[in-house]
Amino acid sequence: KVQRACDSCKSRKRKCSGEQPCPLCVSQGLICTYITPHGRHQTAQPTNHLAIGASSYSLGSDTQSQWPGRTVSVTRPGDAFNTNDTSRAASPDGEGITPAGYQGPTSTFSFLRRAWRRFGMAELSDPNQESREEVSIFAYGDRRAPALSNTNELQLPNRDVTSAMTSRYFDFAAPTYRYLHRPTFESWLLRYHEQQDSHQEGPQPIRQAIVLMVLATACLYNVEISEIDTPPSTPAESRKAERNDSHLRMGETLYQAAQQKITSEAGRPCLESVQARLATSLYQLNTSRLNQAWYTLGSTYQLALSIGIHRARAPTSGEPSKIVRECQRRSFWAVHMLDTYLSVMLGRPPYINDTYVDQRYPEIVDDSDLLSAGTITRSIPKDCIQAAPVMHAKLTRIVKEALKEQALAHPARDQHMIATAQRLGLEVEQWQKQLPLFLSGGIHPSSLVPIFRRQLTVLQIGCAHAIMIITRPLLSGQQTEPALMQPHIEKCLSAAKFVLDLVLDLAVDNNLIPAFWNTQYVTFNALTVVYVWIMQRKQGRLSIVSTQYDETSMFELAKSVQAHLARATHTNAPNLRYSIILEELQQE
Mean pLDDT of 169-174: 94
- Check whether 366 has a pLDDT greater than 80: yes
DSSP 3-state of 65:
strand
DSSP 3-state of 19:
strand
Report which residue type is found at 54: A
- pLDDT class of 197 with cuts at 50, 70, 90: confident
In this predicted model, which residue has the larger pLDDT, 139 or 477? 139
Mean pLDDT of 301-325: 85
Q: Give the least confident one: 144-148, 364-368, 449-453, 499-503.
A: 144-148
Beta bridge partners of 101: 98
All residues at 6 or more sequence positions from 513 whose CB lies less than 8 Å from its CB, including other chains: 220, 221, 223, 224, 225, 568
- pLDDT class of 451 with cuts at 50, 70, 90: very high
Give domain limits for the chain. 7-123, 158-375, 383-588
CA distance 199 to 316: 32
Helices 413-434 and 387-407 cross at an angle (nearest 10°) of: 170
What is residue 401's predicted lDDT score, i.e. its pLDDT? 93
CA distance 420 to 408: 12
Report which residue type is found at 515: A
- pLDDT class of 150 with cuts at 50, 70, 90: low
CA 287 to chain centre: 11
CA distance 342 to 289: 12
Residue 270: count of CB within 10 angstroms of its CB:
17
The pLDDT tens digits of the residues spanning 36-92 come to: 665 544 445 454 433 323 333 333 333 333 223 333 333 333 333 333 333 333 333
DSSP annotation of 235: H
DSSP 3-state of 47:
strand
Report which residue type is found at 52: I
The pLDDT tens digits of the residues spanning 86-129 come to: 333 333 333 333 333 333 333 333 434 544 454 444 443 444 44
Peptide bond before residue 183 is cis, with ω within 30 degrees of 0 = no
What is residue 370's predicted lDDT score, i.e. its pLDDT? 93
- Check whether 552 has a pLDDT greater than 70: yes
CA 250 to chain centre: 23
- Check whether 194 has a pLDDT greater than 50: yes
Peptide bond before residue 77 is cis, with ω within 30 degrees of 0 = no
Residue 557: count of CB within 10 angstroms of its CB:
19
Top mean-pLDDT range of 27-41, 308-322, 416-430? 416-430
Q: Give the least confident one: 55-59, 111-115, 420-424, 497-501.
A: 55-59
Helix, strand, coil distribution of the chain in percent, nearest 5: 55, 5, 40
Q: Give the least confident one: 351-355, 361-365, 548-552, 573-577.
A: 573-577
What is residue 35's predicted lDDT score, i.e. its pLDDT? 66
The pLDDT tens digits of the residues spanning 214-269 come to: 999 999 988 765 544 455 567 777 777 788 788 888 999 999 999 999 999 999 99
Mean pLDDT of 166-184: 96
What is residue 266's predicted lDDT score, i.e. its pLDDT? 93
- Check whether 138 has a pLDDT greater than 70: yes
What is residue 64's predicted lDDT score, i.e. its pLDDT? 32
**How far apart, in Å, are the Cα atoms of 54 and each of 25, 77, 235, 342?**
13, 8, 46, 39
Mean pLDDT of 140-167: 83
Mean pLDDT of 341-366: 92
CA 189 to chain centre: 30
Mean pLDDT of 325-340: 97
Mean pLDDT of 471-479: 77
- Check whether 584 has a pLDDT greater than 80: no
- Check whether 14 has a pLDDT greater than 60: yes
Write out the DSSP string of 66-118. Answer: EETTEEEEEE--S-TT-GGG------TTS--EETTEE-STTSTTHHHHHHHHH
The answer to whether residues 579 and 71 touch, using CB atoms and an 8 Å cutoff, is no
Mean pLDDT of 509-517: 75
- pLDDT class of 316 with cuts at 50, 70, 90: low
All residues at 6 or more sequence positions from 208 whose CB lies less than 8 Å from its CB, including other chains: 188, 192, 202, 258, 261
Mean per-residue pLDDT over the chain, rounded: 78
- Check whether 303 has a pLDDT greater than 90: yes
Q: Which helix (H) or strand (E) holds 50?
A: strand 50-51
CA distance 326 to 164: 26
In this predicted model, which residue has the larger pLDDT, 243 or 370? 370
What is residue 318's predicted lDDT score, i.e. its pLDDT? 66
In this predicted model, which residue has the larger pLDDT, 549 or 79? 549
- pLDDT class of 358 with cuts at 50, 70, 90: very high
What is residue 550's predicted lDDT score, i.e. its pLDDT? 85
Global pTM reads: 0.77
Write out the DSSP string of 175-229. Answer: SS---S-HHHHHHHHHHHHHHHHH------HHHHHHHHHHHHHHHHTTPPP--TT
The pLDDT tens digits of the residues spanning 519-528 come to: 888 998 899 8
CA distance 283 to 403: 25
CA distance 581 to 575: 10
